[in-house]
Amino acid sequence: MASSARQGDDRRRRIGNGWRDALGVFCLLAACAASACSLVFERPEVRVAEVRLGSIGLTGGTVDLAVDVANSNGFDLVAEAFRYEVDFADNESDASDDWKRLAEGEVERVVRVTANDSACVELSVPFSHKQVGSALLRLLRNRELHYRFRGDVLFDTPVGAMWVPFDRTGLVRP
């Protein structure tokens, strides 16, 4: 009899421990879920804010790009590289797919964008006069030139490396 009483007590303790274990697991899962909410990753917003002629010389020049990077995450992001392409429309509008390449390249530059903040990154895009000859002819002939800057930015994020695109079209009138 004493042994059956002891078995009943052991069984009640195991059932009681089971509830405590389940409650502990539930609390652990709830804490993990709450902390994961703060780690949800939102894609940074990348946009070309400004385009201007940087310099011009005998053999070429530069176009300066101001790229705004907005980080709406609760943690810092690091931009590691910027790839770009500069094109001009070889027709009367920017609506066609007839673009001519002026320049392309990649700049490795580390830029930290703090949590819930933004940063402006200046990029100088070199070009040669040979590359822009037909663009200048179109500009002189039509008194305007449609252009397109596009590319992407490489970010080191908590979910891995990620390329985020940017694209801007515009019109130059002298």
Q: What is the CATH number of the domain that holds 102?
A: 2.60.40.10
How does residue 140 score in pLDDT terms, banded at 50, 70 and 90? confident
- Structural domains of the chain, count: 2
Torsion angle of the four alpha carbons 128, 171, 87, 118, in this order, in degrees rounded to the nearest 10: 100
165 with 130, same domain? Answer: yes
Contact 94, 150 (CB under 8 A): no
Task: Kindly report which listed range (14-23, 55-64, 97-106) carries the lowest average pLDDT score.
Answer: 14-23
Instruction: Name every residue whose Cβ is closer than 8 Å to that of residue 98 and which is 6 or more positions away in sequence.
Output: 89, 90, 91
64 with 104, same domain? Answer: yes
At 53 the pLDDT is 83
Q: Which residues of 11-31 are buried (b: 16+ CB within 10 A; e: fewer)?
A: eeeeeeeeeeeeeeeeeeeee
Cβ neighbours, 10 Å, residue 168: 16
154 with 81, same domain? Answer: yes
At 172 the pLDDT is 83
63 with 119, same domain? Answer: yes
At 155 the pLDDT is 93
56 with 137, same domain? Answer: yes
At 129 the pLDDT is 83
Q: pTM to 2 decimals?
A: 0.67
Compute the distance between CA of residue 166 and CA of residue 174 in angstroms, rounded to an integer: 26
**Closest C-alpha among 150, 152, 167 to residue 101:** 150
113 with 78, same domain? Answer: yes
